[in-house]
């Protein structure tokens, strides 16, 4: 029979062996963090500015909202040869955290197909939805969304990728100074 003094070291050895076995098994990838070209909604603006600069996109320019100083609208551009030219980057941030990121522009031939296939390998197969001449594929994970949208315009393919973090937007909606202001009384009464 094991005494409590002998049982504790034995239990620790069993636990260490089990933990060693668990750490040897690779963890499944976290597909809740939807990313595109290194951008992810929910990222901090300083992180996104650094990434944009490292990607050859230059500086991220931001302006604060006059109605709600917690909101920033930021603009930048990616200039990667594989993209076929300059691609615009727009970011809407609340308290310096990206709620919506849009990457958009005319893309090189075959680029939409490569992006679509890569996204489906990473996040799973989804159907293509159509509305008029516009096509769209969308992935949703734990309050986050990634949407690839494309159309042909003047013979060129135009694509946009939107990354949305619903938790950031929901937090803003609950605490927005603009939503707390009372509406003025009607002057017609």
Residue 66 placed within a domain: yes
Does residue 112 lie in a domain region?
Answer: yes
- Asked, for residue 115, whether it belongs to a domain, the answer is yes
Q: What is the mean pLDDT of residues 77-97?
A: 82
Q: What is the mean pLDDT of the chain?
A: 78
Model confidence at 61: pLDDT above 90: yes
Q: Is the pLDDT of residue 117 over 50?
A: yes
The verdict on residue 38 lying in a domain is no
Q: What is the pLDDT of residues 124-164, one digit of tens each?
A: 999 999 999 999 999 999 889 999 999 999 989 999 999 99
**Is 185's pLDDT higher than 70?**
no
pLDDT at residue 10, as a whole number: 45
Question: Does some domain include residue 34?
Answer: no
122-141: buried (b, 16+ CB within 10 Å) or exposed (e) per residue? ebeeeeeeeeeeebbbbbee
Residue 158, domain extent: 45-173
- Count of the separate structural domains present in the chain: 1
């Amino acid at each position: 029979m094991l005494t409590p003094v002998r049982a504790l070291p034995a239990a620790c050895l069993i636990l260490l062996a089990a933990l060693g076995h668990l750490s040897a098994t690779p963890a499944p990838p976290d597909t809740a963090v939807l990313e595109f070209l290194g951008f992810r909604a929910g990222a901090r603006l300083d992180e996104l500015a650094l990434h944009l600069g490292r990607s050859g996109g230059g500086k991220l320019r931001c302006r604060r909202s006059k109605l709600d100083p917690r909101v920033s609208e930021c603009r930048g551009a990616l200039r990667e040869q594989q993209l076929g030219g300059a691609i615009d980057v727009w970011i809407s941030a609340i308290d310096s955290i990206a709620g919506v990121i849009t990457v958009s522009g005319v893309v090189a031939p075959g680029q939409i197909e490569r992006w679509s296939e890569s996204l489906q390998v990473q996040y799973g197969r989804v159907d293509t939805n159509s509305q008029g001449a516009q096509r769209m594929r969308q992935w949703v994970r734990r309050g986050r969304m990634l949407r690839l949208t494309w159309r042909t315009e003047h013979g060129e393919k135009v694509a946009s990728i939107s990354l949305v973090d619903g938790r950031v937007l929901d937090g803003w909606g609950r605490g927005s100074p603009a939503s707390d202001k009372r509406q003025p009384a009607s002057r017609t009464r």
